[in-house]
A = this chain, B = another copy of it.
Amino acid sequence: MPPNKKYTKEDITNIAYEIVKQEGFENLNARRIAKELKASVQPIFHNFASMEELKNVVYKKIYETYQEYMERKTEKPAYKQSGLSYIAFAKEHPELFKILFMQETDNSPEKFIMADSEGEDIIKKGQQLTGLSYEEQKKFHVKVFMFTHGIACLLATKTVKLKDSEIEELLANTVLELLKGYKEK
């Protein structure tokens, strides 16, 4: 009996996500979304109990985007690829990276350096490349991650600019050098 929906939950979420992707959460508000939706604010509050609820949905979607990056498979060694994916996410979606990894939020997921199963997985991938024992690889990976995270942060804030080829070379060289130094200890 009701009229057909012109604006779905998904429409609204998508618009909100795009705004956040370009500008972060700072500029996300009901009227801005309504404007881009070419509608009033009512559809938003019909579909979501509050702006906070909508933001939580957007946050989830951001995390999914990140996960897609991290699940990418290539012909490269898995360990190397995971570092490259992390950095690519930061470079290609700086606002999203900042939200997930450069600020403390209520939602923030597991503060993952080594968060459980995912962490275990990455250690095993690393072992394939380094040949270190599980425990040694764990310690080694902390350093690799810190370096990787440093590059990612610098790219996300646009403090440095690097081409993909430069990133790959930088990361590969540094990890090799670190490993060489590490093994000699």
- A-side residues, CB < 8 A to B, are 98, 101-104, 111, 113, 143, 145-151, 153-154, 157-160, 170, 173-174, 176-182, 184-185
Contact check: which of B145, B149, B150, B181 meets A181 at CB < 8 Å? B181
Contacts of A159 in B (CB 8 A): 101, 111, 113
Contacts of A98 in B (CB 8 A): 102-103
Interface of A is mostly: helix
Contacts of A104 in B (CB 8 A): 157-158
Q: How far is the CB of A101 from chain B (nearest CB, A)?
A: 7
Contacts of A150 in B (CB 8 A): 145-151, 153
The reply to whether B147 and A153 contact each other, CB–CB distance below 8 Å, is no
The reply to whether B103 and A157 contact each other, CB–CB distance below 8 Å, is yes
Take A150-B147, A177-B178 as given contacts and tell me if A157 and B113 are in contact as well, using a CB distance cutoff of 8 Å: no
Assembled-state Cα–Cα distance A181/B148 (Å): 17
Assembled-state Cα–Cα distance A102/B185 (Å): 34
Contacts of A177 in B (CB 8 A): 143, 177-178, 180-182, 184-185
